[in-house]
Amino acid sequence: MTAPAANRLTPADVDAIRATAERMQASIERVIVGKSEVVRLALVALLCEGHILLEDVPGTGKTTLARAIARSLGCSFRRIQFTPDLMPADITGINFYNQKLGEFAFREGPLVAQVVLADEINRATPRTQAALLEAMEERQLTVEGVTTRLPRPFLVLATQNPVELEGTFPLPEAQLDRFLLRLEIGYPGEDDEDEILARFESTSPLDALTPVIDGDELVRLAAALGHMHVAPDVRRYAVRLVRATRDDPAFELGASPRASLALFRSARAYAAINGRDYVLPDDVKAMAPHVLPHRLILSSQSRLRGRETKELLADILRRVPVPVES
């Protein structure tokens, strides 16, 4: 059964999403050189109001990409430098006694913002990392029994270095599951690296970025995506991919139902960015390598054999039948 016309994504909405994505990409690529696909995937997360984990070696532009995204959005922005001595109250805020008013008042922490850059998130202790869980999932904070709603959109852009392990605390599976996408930027090509030197020779192009969309418009476009038509066979294909990770003995822990939702929503956003009001199986396949791997845990046998999560997921993508139009 097809959705009523009133609840379908309109051509105007599709055009607005595609045009907004093009403007955002053009803005971000004034700073980030040669990483068009990474930028497009980041825009997918923004349209889903999803959080992004940027994981790569130092110096590849993780923080620069996060700051370029924040500057291209007309939203409130806070940067938190995560360190081992950072306490939960340092990011959530505290209740303090206001002597002038004679009563307790809440002083907001840097987590009360629309876009939060959590730089080197794996350097904070598990206790501080846990303070992010409620904010990332429920878009609210609870401090001393008082709950504060966070503004919309609320987006966490986190960075971490997977190579340096001393003085770091690996993110728990429950927190990794809250990130819609995990992206790796990688080293630039020779020509791209030369272009980076030319662009940053005198001043940083990051300073010249201006917002191309405000928070209210981003929330409206994200809500419009909820009306995109997805054929039942395509929806079931996403479910079968996720379930295949749970049934595969190569994984000790497969992807959760939250992963199914993430794959479904990101495939819709990916289709809309490409100017379509319907989702193809190729959209699901394109997003799976970025939505699923950080939610999977390899079995001990797979680790002993030197298997990698991406390689095993690629096997699943080849093995699960792709729906075809009858």
**Minimum mean pLDDT range among 64-68, 143-147, 218-222, 228-232:** 143-147
| pLDDT value at residue 7 | 64
Mean of all residue pLDDT scores within the chain: 89
The answer to whether the Cα torsion of 61, 67, 70, 76 is positive or negative is positive
**Minimum mean pLDDT range among 96-100, 204-208, 286-290:** 96-100
In CATH, the number for domain 7-227 is 3.40.50.300
203-237 burial by CB neighbour count: b if 16+ within 10 A, else e?
A: eeebeebeebbebeebeebbebbebbbbeeebbeb
How would CATH label the architecture of 229-326? Orthogonal Bundle (1.10)
Residue 219 has pLDDT above 60, yes or no: yes
Task: Decide if 247 contacts 312 (C-beta within 8 A).
Answer: no
| pLDDT value at residue 3 | 46
**Helix 257-273 with 36-47: angle, nearest 10 deg:** 110
Count other C-beta atoms under 10 Å from residue 242's C-beta. Answer: 25
pTM: 0.89
Q: What residue spans in the chain does CATH classification 3.40.50.300 cover? A: 7-227
Q: What residue spans in the chain does CATH classification 1.10.8.80 cover? A: 229-326
pLDDT (tens digit, 9 = 90+) per residue, 81-134? 999 999 988 998 887 777 777 777 778 889 999 999 999 998 988 888 888 888
The model's confidence at residue 287, banded by pLDDT at 50, 70 and 90, is: very high
Give the residue-averaged pLDDT of 285-295.
Answer: 95
Give the residue-averaged pLDDT of 156-162.
Answer: 88
Residue 265 has pLDDT above 60, yes or no: yes
